[in-house]
Structures are given as C-alpha cells and as structure tokens.
Amino acid sequence: RKYPELYYYGRFRVAGSVKGEKATITCKLGEHTATSNVTVAEQKQRGKRKKPSRKGGFFREIKADTRENPDQRASYDEKNGIIWIFVRFPVVAKYLDERLSPETFEGKTMLAELVGEVYCRFTAREKIDRGIGYITLTDPIDSYSRAINDLQKKSLHLIHEAVLRHKL
C-alpha cells in the first residue's frame, strides 16, 4: 500500500437470527466513519483452506550463504522452505562456518538464535498480514516489533532446545 498510515483494518463477527433481516453496521474511529449493509443468511460451510504445496514444518533445510558483505544474518526463502545463514556476516563468522555444523556451545546457540530470528520475523509478518492481533493503529513498526517479541517469548526456548539437543 502506498500510504499505509491512512488504512485502518480489523476483523469482527456479526450474528443474526432472522434470515433475510437487514442491518447497517457503522464503525467510527475519531472523525472517520465507515458503514456497511448486511443481510442475515444461512451459515455456509467454510471451504477448506489452501494447503501449502510442500509437506513438513516451517522449513525444510538450513543452508549457508557465502556472499561477501551480507546485509543481514539470516533470511527465509518461503517458496523453497530454506533458511539461509549468511556465514560471512561479521558476528556469525565467529561461530559458524560453511558446514553449519557447530562444534561449540556458542556456535549451537548462534544457530538457534538465527533460526529463531527467521521464524519469529516470518510468523509475525504472517499474523499481521492476516489480521491476527498486533494491530496498532498508530505505528505498524511497533506492531511488528511487539509481535516478534511475543513470538520470541513463546518460541525461542523451544528452538534452542531443539538445536542444542539434536543435530539439525
């Protein structure tokens, strides 16, 4: 969107009990007003959600990217389900090499942090795009940061445990 600060969105449900009855819904935010006409209809069965084309969890593979002077530590290729670790990023290079097989506790911790970072960034963006919580009308960056922080609280310990106990 060209001017995201001009858009406000949210979701709500409306229930009616008399089929064919009509109503007008009015939403107000400050000086802005939006109206919509609705008609009570029979509840329809929701269609099946589109399943992802690939099977499995969030990612299928973790690979090293050896590009010189990368601008980030890690990224996610959603189409192929690959987490890319930029091993030439200064702090990453101290703990991980091109094999991504850390021998030290610090290296495993770094790998867990990078996987967690990518997971939380992606999931936060998905939740905000789908309108699931974290909608702050004043600043979308605050919404995104808050979503990432909440996801880190819920997920990072599990990701660390998986990386530290198992070989990924």
pLDDT in tens, 114-156: 999 999 999 998 888 877 766 665 677 888 888 899 999 999 9
Q: Rounded CA gap, 128 and 142, in Å?
A: 11
Helix (H) or strand (E) holding 120: helix 105-129
pLDDT at 130: 79
For residue 53, pLDDT beyond 70: no
For residue 109, pLDDT beyond 90: yes
For residue 1, pLDDT beyond 70: no
Share of the chain above pLDDT 70, in %: 85
Q: Rounded CA gap, 111 and 105, in Å?
A: 10
pLDDT at 168: 54
Q: Rounded CA gap, 3 and 1, in Å?
A: 6
Q: Which amino acid is at 102?
A: P
Query: Which pTM does this prediction carry?
Result: 0.63
Interval 62-78 mean pLDDT: 94
Instruction: Name which residue leads in pLDDT, 38 or 54.
Output: 38
| 40 Cβ contact partners less than 8 Å away, ≥ 6 residues apart | 16, 17, 18, 19, 20, 21, 22, 23
Give the Å distances, CA to CA, from 28 to 9, 40, 116.
12, 22, 39
- The answer to whether 111 and 102 are in contact (CB under 8 A) is yes
Task: Tokens for 27, please give them.
Answer: 């939403």
Q: Average pLDDT of the chain?
A: 85
